[in-house]
């Protein structure tokens, strides 16, 4: 293969892989792109050229899958729009370095280069979830999100499913390469294993889907979606309008034959004032919600530190519990390396002062009251991290996400965020309530079924019966340790095997 063709083909394979993510959900094309990336890697004569292929695949993949990253820079376009293309290019190029290293390491396994790549690539995706606070958005295993095979995350976890997905693609690439070299017997065997693996993934996932639960007698929840565009959300001319819209939705009659809600959920930063100044606003909200409790997003100030918080409000505007977001968005909610960026006069998109928000102490459960149980709160970005959702010793009764996806625009970002929230529900076997400022708000059961939802870009509210918890999943007990242990074992086996060449 000529050197000039190597990088464009790698980027094309990455672009094809990205089509497996929401909102495109073209999982068969994505698997073809993944197999193509594997085949392109296998055709390279050495680690350096393999690393270049890895970077190209990653650049194409992240460049398309994360195209929404430009949207926050359009909110104050006159000041920050110029940063958008640089943000996307640097983000894609930087994340691609994880895959560059994986392809280089994989190529060291000369006796089994495809197996080496499978292990190294899966390890790189695991590292991406943790290194520098982590960014596990768009993991390779999420290609199955719209298929029954996504149920395997309840057993294998997202990284175990990524490892299995890469192994399946390696078999397909091996079959293609074997056919190209006219090694028909080996090619036929690998093609059969690929087909068998695909059937096992889909059929096994389908068999794991539990039947719909009976919901009679369950508490009623209401999700509020004000649909406040980010350009207007903090505009003083519009803040009162969106607040009153949420109050109106809170006080509205129940849908159909359902009784008044037991719980009402507002989205992230839904109240346009700080918590210590919100007595009047909370009184209006609690009166409109009577007799229900309200969960809402609000900012608060304590000891000169700002927090992005969730508050549980009871009758009489009593604040029953507060949770502070602990996994913050770099450059969006806080500034890493503050002294350096202060000298460069660069404040990013951080919401408050020079350093943005402060991080809360960590995950905690919120007791919603009798019948509703205890919820694990997730504020926006926190639903992206399987290890955070899996990190609490006591099992909650539900997951509760409040978010403001207006930052992500209306193309791919909100749908990918919803998809990852749905995967968290499957991993834990727990229902998830999702109240999003601009959508998609949804009630999701422990099998990942979206039972009812409000579409993107629509103002409204929905009432639904709260699904009970499903089974305790293997992943909720073990977390990422089995996937890590298997990767270490495979890596050690490859290293020992390689020394015997």
pLDDT average, residue stretch 150-176:
97
Q: What confidence score (pLDDT) does residue 342 get?
A: 54
The pLDDT mean for the chain works out to 93
Q: What confidence score (pLDDT) does residue 174 get?
A: 93
pTM of the entire structure? Answer: 0.95
Question: Which pair of tokens denotes residue 328?
Answer: 């913050």
Q: What confidence score (pLDDT) does residue 15 get?
A: 98
Question: What is the band of 218 on the pLDDT scale with cuts at 50, 70, 90?
Answer: very high
The distance of Cα 52 from the centroid of its chain, to the nearest Å, equals 28
pLDDT digits over 241-269, tens only? Answer: 999 999 999 999 997 789 999 999 999 99
Q: What confidence score (pLDDT) does residue 339 get?
A: 57
Question: Which pair of tokens denotes residue 108?
Answer: 């060291």
Question: For residue 476, what is the enclosing H or E element?
Answer: helix 474-478
Task: Show the CA angle centred on residue 424, arms to residues 150 and 374, nearest 5°.
Answer: 145
Question: Which pair of tokens denotes residue 43?
Answer: 């055709």
pLDDT average, residue stretch 207-229:
96
Measure the CA–CA gap between 191 and 197, rounded to whole angstroms. 10
268 classed as catalytic: yes
Question: What is the percent of the chain where pLDDT is above 90?
Answer: 83
DSSP three-state, residue 454 = strand
pLDDT digits over 44-76, tens only? Answer: 878 999 999 999 999 999 999 999 999 988 888
279 classed as catalytic: no
Nearest to 55 by CA among 81, 94, 5: 94
The distance of Cα 471 from the centroid of its chain, to the nearest Å, equals 22
Question: What is the percent of the chain where pLDDT is above 70?
Answer: 95
Nearest to 140 by CA among 256, 36, 205, 58: 58
Q: What confidence score (pLDDT) does residue 1 get?
A: 66
Residue 224: partners with Cβ closer than 8 Å, 6 or more residues away: 246, 249, 250, 264, 265, 266, 267, 270, 435, 441, 461
233 classed as catalytic: no
Question: What is the band of 179 on the pLDDT scale with cuts at 50, 70, 90?
Answer: confident
Pairing of strands 441-444, 432-436: antiparallel
Residue 402: strand pairing partners: 379, 435
Measure the CA–CA gap between 118 and 167, rounded to whole angstroms. 6
Measure the CA–CA gap between 324 and 303, rounded to whole angstroms. 14
Residue 396: partners with Cβ closer than 8 Å, 6 or more residues away: 365, 373, 374, 375, 376, 430
Q: What confidence score (pLDDT) does residue 333 get?
A: 85
Q: Per the residue annotation, which of 125, 380, 382, 427 is the catalytic one?
A: 380
Alpha-carbon separation of residue 373 from 43, 192, 254, 396, 462 (angstroms): 55, 48, 22, 8, 20
Q: What confidence score (pLDDT) does residue 178 get?
A: 86
pLDDT average, residue stretch 401-430:
96
Q: What confidence score (pLDDT) does residue 354 get?
A: 47
Measure the CA–CA gap between 113 and 117, rounded to whole angstroms. 6
pLDDT digits over 305-353, tens only? Answer: 999 999 999 999 999 999 999 999 988 888 776 655 555 444 555 444 4
Q: Per the residue annotation, which of 125, 145, 233, 325 is the catalytic one?
A: 325
Question: Which pair of tokens denotes residue 375?
Answer: 């919820």
pLDDT average, residue stretch 199-208:
98
Residue 39: partners with Cβ closer than 8 Å, 6 or more residues away: 173, 176, 177
Q: Per the residue annotation, which of 71, 268, 333, 382 is the catalytic one?
A: 268
Least confident of 100-109, 141-150, 178-187, 231-240: 178-187
Alpha-carbon separation of residue 181 from 174, 176, 393 (angstroms): 10, 9, 53
Question: Which pair of tokens denotes residue 219?
Answer: 């508490």
Question: What is the band of 499 on the pLDDT scale with cuts at 50, 70, 90?
Answer: low
- CA distance between the termini of the chain: 27
């Amino acid at each position: 293969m000529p050197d000039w063709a190597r990088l464009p083909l790698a980027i094309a394979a990455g672009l094809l892989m990205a089509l497996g993510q929401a909102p495109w959900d073209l999982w068969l094309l994505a698997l073809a792109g993944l197999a193509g990336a594997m085949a392109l890697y296998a055709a390279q004569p050495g680690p350096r050229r393999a690393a270049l292929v890895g970077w190209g695949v990653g650049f194409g993949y992240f460049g398309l899958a994360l195209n929404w990253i430009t949207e926050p820079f359009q909110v104050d376009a006159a000041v920050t729009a110029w940063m958008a293309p640089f943000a996307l290019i640097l983000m894609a190029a930087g994340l691609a370095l994880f895959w560059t290293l994986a392809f280089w390491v994989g190529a060291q396994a000369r006796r089994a280069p495809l197996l080496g790549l499978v292990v190294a690539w899966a390890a790189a995706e695991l590292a991406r979830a943790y290194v520098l606070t982590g960014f596990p958005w768009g993991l390779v295993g999420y290609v199955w999100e719209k298929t029954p095979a996504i149920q395997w995350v309840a057993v294998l976890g997202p990284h175990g499913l990524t490892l299995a997905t890469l192994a399946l693609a390696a078999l397909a690439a091996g079959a293609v390469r074997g056919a190209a070299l006219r090694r028909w017997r080996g090619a036929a065997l690998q093609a059969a294993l690929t087909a068998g693996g695909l059937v096992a993934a889909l059929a096994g996932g389908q068999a794991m889907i539990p039947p719909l639960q009976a919901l009679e007698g369950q508490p009623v929840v209401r999700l509020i979606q004000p649909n406040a565009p980010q350009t207007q959300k903090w505009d003083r001319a519009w803040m009162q309008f969106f607040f009153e819209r949420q109050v109106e939705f809170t006080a509205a009659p129940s849908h159909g034959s359902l009784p008044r809600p037991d719980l009402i959920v507002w989205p992230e930063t839904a109240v346009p004032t700080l918590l210590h100044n919100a007595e009047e606003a909370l009184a209006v909200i609690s009166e409109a919600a009577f007799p229900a409790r309200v969960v809402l997003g609000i900012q608060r100030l304590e000891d000169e530190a700002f927090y992005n918080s969730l508050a549980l409000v009871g009758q009489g505007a009593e604040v029953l519990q507060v949770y502070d977001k602990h996994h913050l968005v770099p450059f969006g909610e806080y500034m890493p390396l503050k002294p350096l960026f202060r000298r460069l006069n660069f404040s990013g998109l951080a919401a408050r002062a020079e350093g943005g928000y402060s991080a809360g102490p960590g995950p905690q459960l919120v007791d919603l009251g009798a019948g509703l149980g205890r919820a694990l709160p997730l504020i926006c970005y926190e639903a992206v991290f399987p290890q955070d959702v899996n990190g609490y010793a006591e099992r909650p009764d539900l997951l509760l996400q409040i978010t403001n996806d207006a930052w992500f625009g209306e193309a791919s970002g909100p749908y990918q965020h919803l998809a990852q929230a749905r995967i968290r529900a499957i991993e834990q076997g727990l229902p998830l309530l999702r109240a999003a400022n601009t959508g998609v708000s949804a009630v999701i059961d422990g099998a990942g079924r979206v039972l009812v939802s409000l579409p993107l870009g629509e103002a409204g509210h929905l009432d639904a019966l709260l699904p009970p918890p499903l089974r305790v999943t293997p992943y909720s007990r073990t977390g990422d340790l089995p996937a890590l242990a298997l990767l270490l074992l495979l890596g050690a086996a490859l290293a020992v095997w390689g020394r015997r060449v």
